[in-house]
Structure 1
Amino acid sequence: MKLGLIGSPVEESFINAKDKGLSFLEFCININDDIDGFLENTSLISNWSKTYDIGIQSIGRWGTDKIDANGQVIEEELQRSLQLIDAASLLGCDNFVCGCNYVKELSYYENCRAAIKFLTELIKYGNEKGVKISTYNCRWNNFICDDMAWTIIHGFLTDLGIKYDPSHSRYAGCDYLKEMRDWGSRFYHVHIKGSIIVNGERFDDPPAGLDQTDWQSFMAILYAKRYNAGLSIEPHSHNWEGELGEKGLDFTVNFMKKLLI
């Protein structure tokens, strides 16, 4: 497994990753981000990647609607996803991550059918470009995040992977170790983010290793499932910013490196 970091597509991110002894960066080009600016800078990003010997492990898109109220694929968003798959291919990144919104006017079956249609297009295009497709288990405008959805959608789309983050499972009241046992063989990418629950409620997302996640068991299951891809550290807490945030990031890097065999 390789250890990396979610960062911004700027040179400073590559310098930071290099200084911390990491292997890769991940870019999340989300609903409110400048996707055109990112696409225009792919050549520059590629040069930084080569200069600092820091790979690009994953490119993702969170929060956008993919399906309209009638259950049809939103063509503009489909094209945006295809453009990001193109960028991933150019950057030597073999994983594109996305979710799919749930349309309340439709039945669960109809939502699954619409999601399968959208994801089939991504998988087909990704296969041509050498890029795998994963769904994220974050609940942000996404319903493909639990056993039922995975059983139907990933059960049908055998080439579709999962980007897994244990914090989302914990906050939703699910058993993340059970999900890993049952679906770990479909993990294409993993996020490393701490989580603390107090009195049944989400309290904070501190640096991994300073939280309640059983990271030793987490890693043991990944090894048992022969997972051999990226572990992407995700700084996520407003309590851990600035100097404290950098110290927390260093702590997680050192903590996770001790779990790598």
Structure 2
Amino acid sequence: MRVVLFPFSVLCLLLSSFFSPLYAANDWYRPPVSVTWQWQLDGVVNEAYDAELYDIDLFASSAELIQGLQASGKKVICYFSAGSYEDWRPDAAEFADKDLGKTLSGWDDERWLDIRSSQVREIMIRRLDLAVQKGCDGVEPDRVDSYRTNTGFSFRANNQLDYNRFLAAQAHQRGLAIGLKNNPDQALSLVDDFDFAVTEQCFEHSQCRSFNVFISKGKPVLNAEYRRIYVDDEAQRNAMCQQSLTMAFSTLVLPVALDGTFRMSCLP
């Protein structure tokens, strides 16, 4: 009898997939178009907003916080970076040096990841398992459009599509909804794999129309705008919000730090 020996890292990946909680087909949360939401990734989460969905940090948020939000009728999306290494995360030591690329512009404590790496994918599987353990209804993996950036690695658009579809499939296997973060150029290719989109400054950067495909499929677009003029000038904010309502987007005006210091919603 021939015995096949697997490398330890491959064996761990196989076991993780085998023992992960699997759900029946289509058995996960699907947020509706024009869903109301709150997005806060830093500071003590303000639980008082009348929003159907909260998007909060996976690592910084306790299971008790998540359960408390759900007990008040809210769904909870848990944020983590899937395309960058953050040196303050509790699993930072699990990344191999060879998988760490260039530092992100404006984010000195983050480095791009080699999304082709099996070890990176194993870590993301464990993060999805953590989301299940904490009771998240879904996830928002960030930095999933790094193929357009000088990361220090030579991967291309097809590698990004493969990685993003891997994340979506693994999330769905665990009964988790998953959102496509930014990445307007691949929205059309990925809309069937993801349950919603999360965009930043799509009105400011004239990228919103790329995400209309989500609305046409009955999937919401959660958009955040950071321009100070939307905070200070009511007429400017109202004009932008009218565009958002016409497109059926769920747009918030938020602080760029996403620290909960203020929130203005375009939805009623």
TM-score, structure 2 normalization:
0.57
Matched residue, 1:22: 51
Are the counterparts in 1 of residues 35 and 220 from structure 2 also a CA contact under 8 Å? no
Task: Give the 3-state SS of the residue equivalent to 2:216 in structure 1.
Answer: helix
Aligned partner (choices 172, 193, 213) of residue 159 of structure 1: 193
Aligned partner (choices 94, 99, 104) of residue 138 of structure 2: 94
Separation in 2, partners of 1:9, 1:237: 11
Are the counterparts in 1 of residues 199 and 223 from structure 2 also a CA contact under 8 Å? yes
Task: Give the 3-state SS of the residue equivalent to 2:167 in structure 1.
Answer: helix
2:68 aligned with 1:48, yes or no?
yes
Matched residue, 1:217: 243
Give the aligned CA root-mean-square deviation in angstroms.
Answer: 4.0
Task: Give the 3-state SS of the residue equivalent to 2:231 in structure 1.
Answer: coil
Larger radius of gyration: 2
Mind listing any 5+ residue stretches in structure 2 that lack a counterpart?
1-33, 86-98, 102-112
Matching residue's letter, 1:86:
D
Separation in 1, partners of 2:39, 2:125: 21
Are the counterparts in 2 of residues 165 and 190 from structure 1 also a CA contact under 8 Å? yes
Mind listing any 5+ residue stretches in structure 1 that lack a counterpart?
30-34, 138-144, 197-203
1:172-210 C-alpha deviation (Å, 9 max, x unpaired): 3x352x3344453354450343536xxxxxxx6638966
Report the number of matched residues.
205
2:78 aligned with 1:59, yes or no?
yes
Shift of 1:159: 1.6
Separation in 1, partners of 2:255, 2:119: 29
Which structure's relative contact order is higher, taking Cα pairs within 8 Å and 6+ residues apart? 2
Are the counterparts in 1 of residues 51 and 74 from structure 2 also a CA contact under 8 Å? no
Shift of 1:146: 2.5
Shift of 1:46: 3.6
Separation in 2, partners of 1:207, 1:57: 30
Aligned partner (choices 117, 127, 135) of residue 180 of structure 2: 135
Change (3 A) 1:99 1:59: same
Separation in 1, partners of 2:121, 2:234: 37
Change (3 A) 1:217 1:46: closer
More helix by share: 1
Separation in 1, partners of 2:234, 2:132: 33
Percent sequence identity is 7
Separation in 1, partners of 2:160, 2:171: 16
Are the counterparts in 2 of residues 58 and 95 from structure 1 also a CA contact under 8 Å? yes
Change (3 A) 1:92 1:182: closer
TM-score, structure 1 normalization:
0.58
Change (3 A) 1:171 1:218: closer
